[in-house]
Structure 1
Amino acid sequence: MANKNEKPDVITIGRSSIDLYSQNIGADFIDIKGFDAFVGGSPLNIATGCARLGINTALLTGVGEDKVGDFILNFLDKEGVGTQFIPKIPGARSSAVILGIQPPDRFPLVYYRDNCADSQITIDHVINANVGETKLVEISATAMNVEPSRSSVFFAVEEAYKANVPVLLDIDFRADQWSDIRSFGLMVRNILPKVKIALGTEEEILAAMLQDAGQVKIEHQQISAPKITGNIDEAIERIMDLGVEILVVKSGGRGVTVYDNQGQVIEVPGFPVEPLNVLGAGDAFASGFIYGYLQGWDLYKSCRMGNASGAQVVLQPGCANFMPTLEESLDFIEAHGGFYPVSFSEKI
């Protein structure tokens, strides 16, 4: 639980929203009859996941002077996520997202982010957060799509880097949030030299090295799961060459592959489950990974913790509202082969 009188151990920076999830699982979007109101935004989801695991966590975002902003803040307060760095932005609106759920592989979503408050966080808001006094700063690449949040993220990373605070980048590619999707790669490549840990799906890794907008194809309005062509091995090599110490490539239920700056490649198996809703799985992974990293666990164990968080969330119809607690994750891991399954033990 976050204590607003204490310095947080983790600060996450970027989007926050009200998320309206279809109540009609499997229905085509045009046939949806009702929605459940949750909260979302990758940094908010990660902050909530960290708080539920017992990490003192605060979120740096913006909300509007509106009831949606009150809804978001009320959720965070109840979860114990620090809201002391969240300004209400005059004249801006809290963000909203509407999502369909059509398992196993269709999850269309629509963003409402015109004049959104979370893109209005400024360098002064970052200064107020004292990111150099925390243990880890997590940033979302989507926060770099427009000013002033773009400069605010770069400034936060610069301040953390100067203070030797590790920065974790969620590559978080949302194609429709960029006026020119090639600029996504430009922003990511420019910030990577000061990033210690980067997380992304194979598609997001390719997007970070995007050269041609024609490489991206979005089907069924699955903004969070575009199809991207390119050479994944070359993209991974280029990211590592930019100075990242740890790169985690997420592959859904198959698990993750970890690359480090010592040349190690570590395959970490996932926890196979039948997903109801894959949205938010990557954010759950990040919170579990951060927990393990801050505990001083090795990369394999930290990623198993992340995989367990992701596997639990995909069984639920939402994101932040369903992040697991520490006890739930440890019980889940124990029931599904433990941190180090037999196949791993045989290799060492």
Structure 2
Amino acid sequence: MMDGKVKKYDVLTVGRSSIDLYSQNIGAEFTAIKGFDAFVGGSPLNIATGCSRLGLRAALLTGVGDDKVGDFILNFLRQEKVETAFIPRITGARSSAVLLGIQPPDTFPLVFYRNNAADSQLTIDHVNAIDMGEVRLIELSGTALNIEPSRSAVFHAVERANGHGVTTLLDIDFRADQWSDIRSFGIMVRALLPSIKIAIGTEEELLAAMLEDASQVTIEHQQISAPTVSGDINKAIANVLSLGVEILVVKRGATGATVYDNKGNKEEVPGFPVVPLNILGAGDAFASGFIYGYLNGWDVYKSCRMGNASGAQVVLQPGCANFMPTLEESLKFIEKHGGF
């Protein structure tokens, strides 16, 4: 995947960032939570952190408020050696916040506080401040397409990235409550996919990308990140590939992932089954592990195994970005569980 030029950043992630308040009372109903631990989150932030811990040079394009929560997020990123030079402080906006419950094995309610969110105020000018010629891969989050001006910023970032030969990767990242009309999620994703080389998503996210009616989406226990979406998954996969994506990775949790390409190939990649404490952030960990492998020239199978290993380690922890594994931890985990 090397192009002969040493670039400043291996990966640039674009989209959300937040302070994440995780329940300290594992297993408790949300109404019975007594306290929260303060971590950081947002899919692009999680992925940038995961990439940095694996040894990649990661940068993040997001927005934070000119507030103490913004200070909290930026301080974490600097400690994690994630480049923060492209993160504007948005006057008059607030850094995002999320409250999360943890009720293993399958209930993880989320409450988002994103009114006037700073990370939704990214603009075309913020994108223009980045030299795309110094980036190897750009990762984008589907949630950043939900509102202007961040929607236009994402499309512009992809356009500029393709103009510089940068690998484009879309994490489909469906959050139903972030859209005034959830059908518009699919409209925006389908508009972007022809400019994307690699797409990653769960079956539910792929179905949401091809959504025809809002009644297809069901959210139980306020599990915003894990809705039930009805539809024909094989048709959804075929539709995504028909839009020009070269590689499509379908995340399937503990069972692993399935990789499809635009030549008609399909490959199953086994996962690392573990008993989860908290599934939130597993998909972001997968993306960071996959990106690490891909940028190091590994084949897609091995890259997905690395992603699966990252995800399996994070689900054992009570948070997301704060618990992303290092390269040494991941390689030991993979060796312990049968190797690549």
TM-score (norm 1): 0.95
Aligned-partner SS, 2:112 = strand
Letter of the aligned partner of 1:284 in structure 2? A
CA contact (8 A) 1:249 1:257 kept: yes
Aligned match of 2:75:
74
Matches within 5 A, 1:48-127: 48-127=49-128
Letter of the aligned partner of 1:327 in structure 2? E
Aligned match of 2:41:
40
CA contact (8 A) 1:246 1:258 kept: yes
**2:27 matches 1:26:** yes
What is the alpha-carbon distance in structure 2 between the residues aligned to residue 48 and residue 133 of structure 1?
A: 19
Root-mean-square deviation over aligned CA pairs: 0.7
CA contact (8 A) 1:21 1:99 kept: yes
What is the alpha-carbon distance in structure 2 between the residues aligned to residue 131 and residue 198 of structure 1?
A: 20
Quote the offset at 1:17 in angstroms: 0.1
Letter of the aligned partner of 2:34 in structure 1? K
What is the alpha-carbon distance in structure 2 between the residues aligned to residue 208 and residue 158 of structure 1?
A: 21
Aligned match of 2:175:
174
Quote the offset at 1:147 in angstroms: 0.4
Quote the offset at 1:79 in angstroms: 0.3
CA offsets per residue over residues 289-315 of structure 1, 9 Å max, x none?
000000010010000000000000000
Quote the offset at 1:132 in angstroms: 3.8
Aligned-partner SS, 2:22 = strand
What is the alpha-carbon distance in structure 2 between the residues aligned to residue 175 and residue 182 of structure 1?
A: 9
CA offsets per residue over residues 175-234 of structure 1, 9 Å max, x none?
000000000000000000010000000000000000100100000000000000000000
Aligned match of 1:248:
249
What is the alpha-carbon distance in structure 2 between the residues aligned to residue 241 and residue 66 of structure 1?
A: 44
Matches within 5 A, 1:218-229: 218-229=219-230
Letter of the aligned partner of 1:159 in structure 2? R
What is the alpha-carbon distance in structure 1 between the residues aligned to residue 268 and residue 148 of structure 2?
A: 38
What is the alpha-carbon distance in structure 2 between the residues aligned to residue 130 and residue 10 of structure 1?
A: 13
What is the alpha-carbon distance in structure 1 between the residues aligned to residue 130 and residue 81 of structure 2?
A: 17
Aligned match of 2:4:
none
What is the alpha-carbon distance in structure 1 between the residues aligned to residue 98 and residue 153 of structure 2?
A: 23
Aligned match of 1:193:
194
Aligned-partner SS, 1:198 = strand
CA contact (8 A) 1:253 1:311 kept: yes
Letter of the aligned partner of 2:59 in structure 1? A
Aligned match of 1:277:
278
Letter of the aligned partner of 2:285 in structure 1? A
Aligned-partner SS, 1:135 = strand
Quote the offset at 1:262 in angstroms: 1.5
Quote the offset at 1:130 in angstroms: 1.9
What is the alpha-carbon distance in structure 1 between the residues aligned to residue 123 and residue 293 of structure 2?
A: 31
**2:317 matches 1:316:** yes
CA contact (8 A) 2:259 2:267 kept: yes
Letter of the aligned partner of 1:182 in structure 2? R
Matches within 5 A, 1:2-21: 7-21=8-22
CA contact (8 A) 1:308 1:332 kept: yes
Aligned-partner SS, 1:80 = coil
CA offsets per residue over residues 251-299 of structure 1, 9 Å max, x none?
1000000001121101000001000000000000000000000001001
Aligned match of 2:3:
none
Letter of the aligned partner of 2:161 in structure 1? A
Letter of the aligned partner of 1:271 in structure 2? F
What is the alpha-carbon distance in structure 1 between the residues aligned to residue 130 and residue 315 of structure 2?
A: 32
Aligned match of 1:342:
none
What is the alpha-carbon distance in structure 2 between the residues aligned to residue 227 and residue 132 of structure 1?
A: 40
Aligned match of 1:346:
none
CA contact (8 A) 1:103 1:275 kept: yes
What is the alpha-carbon distance in structure 2 between the residues aligned to residue 272 and residue 121 of structure 1?
A: 38
Quote the offset at 1:162 in angstroms: 1.5
Aligned-partner SS, 1:39 = strand
Matches within 5 A, 1:144-183: 144-183=145-184
CA contact (8 A) 1:132 1:159 kept: no
What is the alpha-carbon distance in structure 2 between the residues aligned to residue 160 and residue 99 of structure 1?
A: 34
Aligned-partner SS, 2:9 = coil
Aligned-partner SS, 1:96 = strand
CA contact (8 A) 1:140 1:172 kept: yes
What is the alpha-carbon distance in structure 2 between the residues aligned to residue 276 and residue 168 of structure 1?
A: 28
Quote the offset at 1:327 in angstroms: 0.3
CA contact (8 A) 1:11 1:131 kept: no
What is the alpha-carbon distance in structure 1 between the residues aligned to residue 185 and residue 310 of structure 2?
A: 27
Q: Where does structure 2 lack aligned partners over 5 or more consecutive residues?
A: 1-6
